[in-house]
Amino acid sequence: MKKLAWTMIFILLFHSMAWAAPIEFSGGVSDEFQYKEVVFLSGKPVVFVGTVNVKIDEKQEEKKATYTFTLSPEDIDIEGKLTRKVTLITTYTPVTGKGQTIANTKVTRYTENVTIGQDTFKLTNSDIQFFQSDIIDNRPAIDFYSGNIQALKRYEINGGEGIAQVKITGEDVGYKNFWGSTQTQLLDYVYTINRKAQGENENSSWEGTVSVKVSDSTTKSLQYSQNEANFSSFNGGYIQVVKEGMISQYTYNLPRITDEGIDPFGRNQGTISLQASKVPKVERLIVPKFRDTAGHWAQQDIEKLYSLGVFEGNTSFFIPDGSMTRIDFVKAVVKACDIGGNEEADSSSKRSSRKKKGEVEEIIFVDIDSSHPDYQYVKKAFEKNIITRGTDYRFNPNEPLTKAEAVTILIRVLGLEGKAPAPGYKTSFSDDSKIPNWAKDAVYMAAEAGIIGGDNNNNVNAHKQLKRSEASALLVRFLEFLEKDLQKDYSENIIYYY
């Protein structure tokens, strides 16, 4: 699939190394060189920094994640060290016929030693209970998921001086698609520290709470790079940029600790924020050289999609004001979202193999058979319920595409049609009565997501036949939703406004 044929294949199960996910469940952030988290076992917030080694071993329905932490206090005046080894195994169970997957995660190894000043906190495998379960809604171009976490950790203090117990409850929400992914964890920690008194009047036991919000995001975007040379065959081209970043926020309510011990009448409250980002990865894309798009209002949108391989062809003309056909739009959507991944690459050989064996390709539509060069795109869209067929089994591939049809396809790709209100509602558009009943839910959700809007008279013009330029602009706005809007909804809005 040219530039869209990346090494990742869009399949049912998670491939976590390629998609954003917080490291373990400690609220930490990392870049290529350093990991950082906040530790509260001493009764005071202490920022630890160091390295974490992550190893992922994946099978078809199981993922094994192993983390090895080696950290020390960021403040060099604080003596300390943290070592932690964790192995998490996630088992994925597809729910047949529901388009969903249940993911259950368990701890098979968890050892941790933390030294802060004169105190050492030790935890072994038998000292932790951990349960995590997620439900994943697998949509054609995106997976949405949400889950819950319950854990209990018990540390031995200084070889028998006491017990530090940390109860963890929380949830995680996220999504992943070809254009980006975000996972956000919302965790609540309750610390209960019971220590043997070291002096007649000393009170060394305490309780405290910490709330953690941590988010890991990966996003792809396009940036235009101008060619600085005057005498060149092209003026510039697009760069695909992949950015990875993490943000974390700890809000704590701890005892106030003085030189005399724990103040029973005061509390230490505050917030600590951490942030880390990796060096962006860049990839140059092919340069479009259409002769009929210069100065056109949709020039940038057309060139972006061509550079990504969504549109193809060797001709020098795009014909921006020509009609967008149904088959060209479906093909563009399947390619833009990488639906089916590398499956198309093997389609011709598979079809040849089937024909040699005398097998007959299933008839999906009577007016487009398996010999059509774009058959696999139509087949994939049909299998994913992005397009449907009527009783006449016709697709009408070369017919002009209406705005209602285009919007319905895009919302089905996202799987959001079910989020519309109960039947009987009206959209906010002035020409609401002219929206076909079969497209109304899609039009409503596309407007809610900001993918479409009304014209100067607040009309959505659902029956309008889309020009190739108009379809290009709609596709680019759709990709921006996948790239930016979802990331903001699942990360920034939760971290800063939750």
Which whole number is the average pLDDT over 71-88? 97
Q: 């050492």: which residue's tokens?
A: 120
Residue that terminates a domain, selected from 242, 266, 282: 282
Within a domain: residue 493? Answer: no
Same-domain pairing of 336 and 204: no
Same-domain pairing of 241 and 277: yes
CB-count exposure of residue 19 (10 Å: 0-12, 13-18, 19+): buried
Same-domain pairing of 268 and 341: no
The CA distance from 491 to 377, in Å, is 33
Q: Tokens in use for 467?
A: 């020009």
Same-domain pairing of 312 and 210: no
Same-domain pairing of 59 and 109: yes
Within a domain: residue 402? Answer: yes
**Tens-place pLDDT, residues 471-492:** 999 999 999 999 888 888 888 8
pLDDT at res. 358: 55
Same-domain pairing of 50 and 185: yes
Same-domain pairing of 271 and 292: no
Within a domain: residue 183? Answer: yes
Amino acid of residue 252: Y
Checking if the pLDDT of 342 tops 80, the result is no
Same-domain pairing of 369 and 317: yes
Within a domain: residue 498? Answer: no
CB-count exposure of residue 431 (10 Å: 0-12, 13-18, 19+): middle
Within a domain: residue 458? Answer: yes
Same-domain pairing of 108 and 144: yes
The CA distance from 51 to 301, in Å, is 42
Same-domain pairing of 166 and 275: yes
The total domain count for the chain is 2
The CA distance from 249 to 252, in Å, is 10
Average pLDDT, rounded, for the chain: 89
**Tens-place pLDDT, residues 383-406:** 999 999 988 999 999 999 999 999
pLDDT at res. 494: 83
pLDDT at res. 59: 86
Amino acid of residue 85: K
Helix, strand, or coil (residue 242) = strand
Helix, strand, or coil (residue 496) = helix
Checking if the pLDDT of 419 tops 60, the result is yes
Give the residue with greater pLDDT, 344 vs 259.
259
**Residue 238: beta bridge partners?**
224
pLDDT at res. 20: 78
Residue that terminates a domain, selected from 231, 260, 282: 282
**Torsional class of 96: left (φ above 0), alpha (ψ -120 to 50), beta (otherwise):** beta
Helix, strand, or coil (residue 209) = strand
Within a domain: residue 491? Answer: no
User: 352-391 burial, b for 16+ CB within 10 Å, e for fewer?
Assistant: eeeeeeeeeeeebbeebebeeeebbbbbbbbebebbeeee
Same-domain pairing of 200 and 294: no
pLDDT at res. 9: 25
The CA distance from 375 to 378, in Å, is 5
CB-count exposure of residue 230 (10 Å: 0-12, 13-18, 19+): exposed
| C-alpha distance from residue 379 to each of 340, 357, 439 (Å) | 10, 21, 22
> pTM value?
0.86
Q: Which of 32-41, 225-234, 380-389, 487-496 has the lowest mean pLDDT?
A: 225-234
Helix, strand, or coil (residue 107) = strand
Q: Name the most confidently modeled range: 10-14, 88-92, 347-351, 359-363.
A: 88-92
% of the chain at pLDDT higher than 90: 73
Helix, strand, or coil (residue 128) = strand
DSSP string, 135-195: EEEE-SSEEEEEEEEEEEEEEEETTTTEEEEEEEEEEEEEEEETTEEEEEEEEEEEEEEEE
The CA distance from 374 to 376, in Å, is 6
Residue that terminates a domain, selected from 247, 282, 317: 282
**Tens-place pLDDT, residues 62-76:** 999 999 999 999 999
pLDDT at res. 348: 45
Q: Which of 93-107, 192-206, 279-293, 339-353 has the lowest mean pLDDT?
A: 339-353
Q: Which of 135-139, 235-239, 337-341 has the lowest mean pLDDT?
A: 337-341
Within a domain: residue 333? Answer: yes
Q: Tokens in use for 2?
A: 């040219």
The CA distance from 81 to 73, in Å, is 7
Same-domain pairing of 234 and 166: yes
Q: 């860049």: which residue's tokens?
A: 282
Checking if the pLDDT of 344 tops 60, the result is no
- Contact in structure between 88 and 26 (CB atoms under 8 Å): no
Checking if the pLDDT of 44 tops 80, the result is yes
The CA distance from 172 to 136, in Å, is 11
| C-alpha distance from residue 418 to each of 94, 409, 414, 435 (Å) | 21, 14, 10, 17
Within a domain: residue 140? Answer: yes
The range of the structural domain enclosing residue 339 comes to: 288-484
Helix, strand, or coil (residue 489) = helix
- Contact in structure between 101 and 75 (CB atoms under 8 Å): no
